[in-house]
Structure 1
């Protein structure tokens, strides 16, 4: 017979993965950095670390704050939408660039600096209002349903986050043969531009 703590942890693992494993701005950025083999560890650390903070806050009941301060959600939506539109424009420009300078991932002269990568990763995480809905509100409410075992539920969700981002970031290198062709990079950047624009539009419409 499984203990309530173990069951709660497994439930948290499954629930956390169900929220994280989806095509979105953050996951696409992790994939792109993994393909470029550029500051992958830092990207994973920011994503998983941010999730750990938010999941813990959600289990502690911080979701009440989001519901109590309506303007906070609106501000995050507009800020997130603006950032995503800028990033989408940059991705579209990379995809449409005639040359292949932006596609040579291993050229040291073209590598993005660590502060820039960390800043972009943090922005894609913390400026996305959906992450607060998923972790503080949704995951927090489910965790509360586990009573005293809610911290085990939260721990399982954190483990799920670490496993997913590690697999996505370091596993992306398995796709490098496909992305040896400039066309594949252009397609990826095109997908990034479309997805981020769609998310930004959704945030703007949701702010009205």
Structure 2
């Protein structure tokens, strides 16, 4: 069953290793070294769970529930616009940033809530994991689809751990307010682009 496992691993990485709202959030938390473990666990385990549900057949339900996807879609647009605004506001006031930490430290609760919102208010998360990964996984047959799900789950968890903790290598570069200003500016643009794609390009 090594082939379905490798297919799941490759498929999972091909979908997740891309610039997006979730990856940008994890990267920023990793650079700040702020509540990294809960963030990577939420992102990685959520992907693993949704991929498993997709392989189990729940993806078909999501695919046939356009009203549910619309609700998630517009909720995601609203949240991404708000997050872009906060990042842009930070970028406009680099003098307010603390060089060593990239800004005032945030509580675990606020970081977890933001991570959950970015994760669950993005309809692409459901389409990529439950629908697309679920479809590919089910094509592997039994018991191959479960090996596929295992490969996808490992890919997601490993990626977020690498991204979150690997970002620490960039800490020296982000030792000045100017560097954080650039990062927050990029994050703001990414969030707005994704929000615009959700709002005007469908899901």
TM-score (normalizing by structure 2): 0.95
Confirm or deny that 1:169 pairs with 2:134: no
1:141-152 correspondence runs (5 A): 141-148=135-142, 149-152=144-147
In structure 1, the gaps of 5 or more residues are: none
- The one-character-per-residue Cα deviations of 1:67-124 (angstroms, maximum 9, x if unpaired) are 22111111111000000000000000001104143554178xx211111111111111
For 1:43, the equivalent position in structure 2 comes to 39
Count, aligned residues:
202
Identify if the C-alpha distance between structure 1 residues 106 and 56 changes in structure 2 by more than 3 Å, giving closer, same or farther. same
SS at the partner of 2:95?
Answer: coil
SS at the partner of 1:23?
Answer: coil
Superposed structure 1 runs of 4+ greater than 2 Å apart: 100-104
For 2:4, the equivalent position in structure 1 comes to 8
For 1:87, the equivalent position in structure 2 comes to 83
Identify if the C-alpha distance between structure 1 residues 129 and 102 changes in structure 2 by more than 3 Å, giving closer, same or farther. farther
Contact 1:8 1:152 (8 Å CA) reproduced: yes
TM-score (normalizing by structure 1): 0.93
CA distance in structure 1 between the aligned counterparts of 2:157 and 2:8, rounded to whole angstroms? 13
Confirm or deny that 1:31 pairs with 2:27: yes
Contact 1:94 1:102 (8 Å CA) reproduced: no
For 2:150, the equivalent position in structure 1 comes to 155
SS at the partner of 1:99?
Answer: helix
Identify if the C-alpha distance between structure 1 residues 111 and 185 changes in structure 2 by more than 3 Å, giving closer, same or farther. same
CA distance in structure 2 between the aligned counterparts of 1:77 and 1:10, rounded to whole angstroms? 32
Identify if the C-alpha distance between structure 1 residues 54 and 141 changes in structure 2 by more than 3 Å, giving closer, same or farther. same
CA distance in structure 1 between the aligned counterparts of 2:110 and 2:87, rounded to whole angstroms? 15
CA-based RMSD: 1.5
CA distance in structure 2 between the aligned counterparts of 1:64 and 1:15, rounded to whole angstroms? 19
Confirm or deny that 1:56 pairs with 2:56: no
* Residue 181 of structure 1: how far off its partner (Å): 2.0
